[in-house]
Amino acid sequence: MLSREENDLLIRTNPGTPMGRYIRHFWIPVLFSQQLPEPDCPPVRVKVLGEKLVAFRDSQGRVGLVDERCPHRNASMFFGRNEESGLRCVYHGWKFDVTGRCVDMPSEPPESNFKNKVSIEAYPCEERGEVVWAYMGEPAKMPAFPDLEWTRVPPSHRFSSRHVMECNWMQGMDGGFDASHLSFLHKGDAEGGRIVDLATEYEPIVTDFGAIMASGRKRDGGNVHWSLDLLLLPFHKLINRHGPPDAQIGTHMWVPIDDETCMIWSIEYHPHRPLTDRDLARSKKFLYIHTENNPGSDHAVINRANDYMVDRERQASGASFTGMKGLGIQDCGIQESMGPISDRTREHLGRYDRLVIHLRRILMSEVEGMEAGKPIKATVPGVHAVRSACATIHSGEPLQNAIEKIIAPVPPPLVVEKPLLATAEVH
């Protein structure tokens, strides 16, 4: 179990917190490009890492992300006029461009230079993979945009969605890298009704991008089938392919909105071909990573307010272990059932929780390194250019020796470091 201080370190991401400072070293997804469909369209509210912001697309098509509060009298810039290359506060007409510079102050005398002394908090934005990303950290430390493969494929090769989770971001991260829950929570609801046998071997390997989270299942002939999910710091998971060999690849991002909610982004993509109607139907049928939202919102139709539409008859019949329909709904339902912030001081972790233990230790180690002045390693260009995988190797072969053969890299090649811990701590 974690101490209260360790739990707080992991979950708190508002301005001024250690984890908040750490995540702000990375590019963060904040909204879909289509939410700002054209120049001078209406602005959109954004909340991320505890900050209330407003996004707008200016007359040149550039995206701005600014503090919701006008620096004059704190009026909401959401009600602002998006016109002539800037967002104008409707209270007194102060206008700001995408960099935060005040470009017009009609409430002041014409000879005044006061506008040159005033600015609004603004964050640089990039559009990649039909998503608007923001950098919210120190300007001098802004990294290059990460080489995420799904952001580089054509739109026809990718399907993206997102929805609000009513819990802290670490509950989503914990659940995403909890390998043993596949054999219980999703029993009866995986594709084709297959039952995922319980993994018996777990090996986290720290890398330059984050970690390889490997879970192994014994097979005939003394072999072990390894599923290799990737942690791309700070909040990405690359899921190894399930189903047909040519199936699409899945990825998640759990982005903190504030300490009690997060946005889960879910993407499926194929590196080499467009997604077919069959691909999309398969995904929607099993709701593997996607959920249906209420129209015009980021809130799921099936949610805590309606008890995730749990079907007790289906649960009792054994057709579904949970009675909840869809893997994504099952994950969110259980993670949200822990409350807005899970009290990890009450946990009793066992042998099969090894990957969750290491996930938390990796994140805490990264934050502690940052606080000690060490470089943020996962911001180095090229380190995210990898692909998850699965493979069967002989049980006598060390997994780390085979990693470079198993992980399918997208150049530049993968760099593997020593494991963070030799053994996991269990209780």
Instruction: Judge whether 344 and 168 are in contact, CB under 8 Å.
Output: no
| Measured distance CA(88)–CA(80) in Å, rounded | 5
In a domain, 105, yes or no: yes
Is there a contact between 63 and 125 (Cβ–Cβ < 8 Å)?
A: yes
Please indicate, yes or no, if residue 227 is contained in any of the structural domains. yes
Whether 187 and 118 share a structural domain: no
According to the model, what pLDDT value does residue 415 have? 52
pLDDT computed for residue 285 by the predictor:
63
The answer to whether residue 427 sits within a structural domain is: no
Of the three residues 112, 141, 170, the one that is the final residue of a domain is: 141
Looking at residue 189, what is its pLDDT?
A: 67
- The 3-class secondary structure across 372-421, one letter per residue, is CCCCCHHHCCCCCCEECEEEEEECCCCHHHHHHHHCEECCCCCCECCCCC
Structural domain total, the chain = 2
**Domain end among 100, 122, 141:** 141
User: Is 227 in the same domain as 93?
Assistant: no
Residue 131 lies in a domain: yes
CATH (domain of 64): 2.102.10.10
Same-domain status, 231 and 317:
yes
What are the per-10-residue average pLDDT scores of the chain (427 residues)? 95 98 98 98 98 98 98 98 98 98 96 96 98 97 94 94 96 91 72 66 90 89 87 94 77 97 95 91 63 88 92 88 84 93 94 92 97 93 85 80 63 46 34
* Same domain? 208 vs 328: yes
9 is a domain residue: no
Position 16 in a domain: no
Residue where a domain terminates, one of 81, 116, 141:
141
Residue 11 lies in a domain: no
Please tell me whether residues 43 and 156 are part of one structural domain.
Answer: no
Can you tell me which residue has the tokens 């049928």? 285
Rounded distance between C-alpha atoms, residue 386 and residue 86, angstroms: 39
Q: Are residues 56 and 133 in the same domain?
A: yes
Residues with Cβ < 8 Å from 343, sequence gap 6 or more?
7
- How many CB atoms lie under 10 A from the CB of residue 110? 6
Task: Say how many residues make up the chain.
Answer: 427
- Please name every residue paired with 122 in a beta bridge, in sequence order, or none if there are none: 66
Phi, psi of 216 (to 5 degrees): -115, 140
For 416, which DSSP code? B
CB atoms closer than 10 angstroms to residue 224:
21
Spatial separation of the C-alpha atoms in residues 130 and 126, rounded to whole Å = 10
pLDDT of residue 352: 87
Q: Is 297 helix (H, G, I), strand (E, B) or coil?
A: coil
In sequence order, what are the beta bridge partners of 216? 201, 226
Whether residue 191 is found in the same domain as residue 288:
yes
Six-digit token string for 87? 């967002």
Task: Verify that 163 and 65 share a domain, yes or no.
Answer: no
Q: Within this chain, do residues 106 and 195 fall inside the same structural domain, yes or no?
A: no
Q: Are residues 200 and 324 in the same domain?
A: yes
Show the tokens assigned to 321: 């272990």
Q: Which domain holds residue 347?
A: 149-409
CA distance 273 to 269: 9
Check whether residue 215 and residue 130 sit in a common domain: no
Supply the CATH number for residue 258's domain. Answer: 3.90.380.10
For residues 258 and 383, membership in a common domain is answered with: yes
DSSP state at residue 192: G
Rg of the chain, C-alpha, whole Å: 23
State the DSSP code for 43.
P
Number of helical H runs and strand E runs in the chain: 8, 21
Q: Is residue 7 situated within a structural domain?
A: no
* φ, ψ dihedrals at 54, nearest 5°: -135, 130
